[in-house]
Chain A
Amino acid sequence: MTWFRRGAITPLSAEPDCHEVARVLQAFLDGELGPDNAEKVAAHLAHCEPCDIESNTVDAVRDAIRAQRPDIDVDELGRLESFVNDIDRHAT
């Protein structure tokens, strides 16, 4: 199995411009950028108002989508936890 390591995206330049930041903004918000790139994007957003506004908008759209996440029934989850706690018996 191959792994897409977080941060596998090409390293950004030392002080990325708006174009570079736009290219990786989604991965940044999803936590898929490595720490070095993420730090550079965060630093850019801290002083670039248009990119910061864009970041907030993308984030708001993502949050609106994620609010659609269906709830998981706690009883169902509880039954599965009991199943795991008794896995030795189920697996033999």
Chain B
Amino acid sequence: MKKIFFVKSLLLVIFAHAQVGINTSSPVNMLDVNGDLSVRKEIRTGGTNLLKGSAGEAGTMLHNNTDLAANDWKSVKIADGQGSMAMFSMNSVSDKTGAVFNNGNGSTAPYSEGDALGSTWIVLAGNTDTFSITNMTNKVVFSFQTTAQKTGNTTSSSGFACGIFVDNTLRAVRTDVLLGAEGTYKIFNLNATLTNLMPKNNYSVKVACTKRNLNSGTLGVGTAVNTTFLNSEMSQSVLTTSVLQPY
């Protein structure tokens, strides 16, 4: 084994074919530093016996490209304006089970923010989700759509409401009425924005619906109750929850 080893002033030049260990007797790489490494000037990558390695442009970052034999330097930029309020998480859930109401009229009193998820509400089983908030500044946007259909009350109306419950507490609700003949259906939309929820992991979100004046018929929300006009594919419900936060 050939070794050239000379000290000139304070400069130490080592030329070795073997692997070198610092603070280890069994190096596993060409230079194995078992401890911290201090570099007082630029780190260079690549390079040959003839060419200096690259120190990278200022602001670039040490990067691994598996197609290259040595590490390289990468410039990472972000589009102007991104991050002031950005999509932090987004999820959509769908439901084909729906909720069916009958046995007469429900309450027609208005609903209030903070109402508990009581027994008069039926949760759409598939439209449950969770989301997390990590920043004091945030917006939570819910977008819900379903189809409601009535049957068995001839041309009388059927009233209902669907609400968004966060941790089993009502945070947004809309009411609607079906008007028309047997099998009448309509699209129900609920878009709502909540501002600055407290940071927390795993808020639960559920969509639940309740009956109002049914006028003796049967009402389906997110499900078909008269399959002459509608099927479960057409009547399914979708809930999209988006969390916006700055980063």
Q: Are A and B a genuine interacting pair, yes or no?
A: no
